[in-house]
């Protein structure tokens, strides 16, 4: 399917690895010009080369910290300067620390809110005029299945990420029909983080091989495996496309059916 994204401009945050990188890759493969972002400049440059190899669009790497308002402003400015506007904004950020409620400090709460919610607020504020100026802007938030079902020892993710979903639903009405807002909710997916945890388990002797550990991670999933990053990235690209023009204000679990929530 041609997603009709050729020549569009996209900004994808936290995209030097993982799900952000997969989303940027899917958009670039469809011909979009993409600005990618991360804090590690060496990793970011390597990601740019990887993504540029899959499509005809330009890929620009812009380092920046998503908790720094000035860095966010620069991210948006660079995208506009390089590509003449912004058609698609994909927000992603690293996860907050794990841990139970009584071991979570007030500082942890503020840092998680700044990273997960205020980064999205600031990005949309900065990019809103550009998103509304085109033929139809799109924003996709990469959050977590924790907004559907609380996950043990992830109190910060369980509680704070809900703010992004409330914001998404509000903006899907306030800025429609000029801009559509949707979210994807990843479940277990074979990112670098998951791979590292499996490798550590192998080193501890819990599994004989990486493949055995990977199979164990997916054993409780109805699909019999965990997800691949591009399976989420492809969904993000579809939601940005004209093929999804009537999809607005929804949350899409990408978890292989692992979640037990009815809605």
- Do 91 and 46 reside in the same domain of the chain? yes
Domain holding 28, by residue range, is 9-188+228-254
90 is a domain residue = yes
Q: Is 208 helix (H, G, I), strand (E, B) or coil?
A: coil
- Do 136 and 175 reside in the same domain of the chain? yes
What is the tens place of the pLDDT at every residue in 146-197? 999 998 989 999 999 999 999 999 999 999 999 999 999 999 999 988 898 8
- Do 166 and 105 reside in the same domain of the chain? yes
- Do 121 and 242 reside in the same domain of the chain? yes
Token readout for 186 is 């990843």
- Do 242 and 116 reside in the same domain of the chain? yes
Angstrom distance (rounded) from CA 142 to CA 248:
15
2 is a domain residue = no
- Do 29 and 117 reside in the same domain of the chain? yes
The crossing angle, in degrees rounded to 10, of helices 18-29 and 229-240 is 50
173 is a domain residue = yes
- Do 69 and 16 reside in the same domain of the chain? yes
- Contact (Cβ atoms closer than 8 angstroms) between residue 233 and residue 25: yes
Q: What angle do CA 13, 159, 96 make, to 5 degrees?
A: 45
pLDDT attached to residue 194: 86
Angstrom distance (rounded) from CA 120 to CA 244:
22
| Averages of pLDDT over each 10 residues, the chain, 263 residues | 94 97 97 97 97 93 98 98 98 91 96 98 98 92 95 93 98 98 96 87 92 93 96 98 97 94 82
What is the tens place of the pLDDT at every residue in 34-44? 999 999 999 99
- Do 133 and 153 reside in the same domain of the chain? yes
For residue 211, with 0-12 CB atoms within 10 Å meaning exposed, 13-18 middle and 19 or more buried, which class applies?
A: exposed
- Do 130 and 239 reside in the same domain of the chain? yes
pLDDT attached to residue 241: 97
**Total domains, the chain:** 2
User: Tokens 């004989």 label which residue?
Assistant: 208
pLDDT attached to residue 48: 98
- Do 170 and 150 reside in the same domain of the chain? yes
- Do 35 and 135 reside in the same domain of the chain? yes
163 is a domain residue = yes
């Amino acid at each position: 399917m041609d997603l009709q994204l050729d020549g569009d401009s996209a900004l994808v945050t936290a995209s030097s690895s993982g799900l952000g990188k997969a989303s940027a890759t899917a958009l670039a493969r469809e011909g979009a010009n993409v600005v990618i972002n991360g804090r590690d400049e060496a990793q970011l440059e390597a990601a740019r080369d990887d993504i540029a190899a899959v499509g005809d669009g330009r890929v620009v790497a812009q380092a920046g910290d998503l908790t720094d308002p000035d860095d966010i402003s620069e991210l948006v400015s660079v995208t506009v300067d390089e590509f003449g506007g912004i058609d698609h904004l994909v927000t992603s950020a690293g996860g907050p620390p794990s841990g139970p409620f009584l071991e979570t400090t007030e500082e942890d709460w503020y840092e998680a809110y700044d990273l997960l919610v205020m980064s999205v607020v600031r990005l949309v504020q900065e990019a809103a005029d550009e998103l509304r100026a085109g033929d139809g802007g799109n924003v996709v938030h990469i959050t977590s299945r924790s907004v559907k079902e609380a996950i043990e020892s992830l109190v910060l993710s369980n509680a704070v990420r809900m703010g992004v979903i409330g914001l998404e639903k509000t903006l899907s009405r306030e800025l429609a029909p000029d801009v559509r807002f949707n979210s994807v909710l990843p479940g277990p997916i074979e990112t670098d983080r998951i791979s590292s945890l499996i490798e550590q388990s192998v080193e501890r002797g819990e599994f004989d091989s990486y493949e055995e550990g990977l199979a164990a991670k997916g054993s409780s999933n109805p699909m019999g495996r965990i997800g691949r990053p591009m399976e989420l990235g492809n969904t993000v690209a579809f939601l940005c496309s004209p093929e999804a023009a009537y999809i607005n204000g929804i949350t899409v679990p990408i978890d292989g059916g692992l979640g037990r929530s009815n809605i």
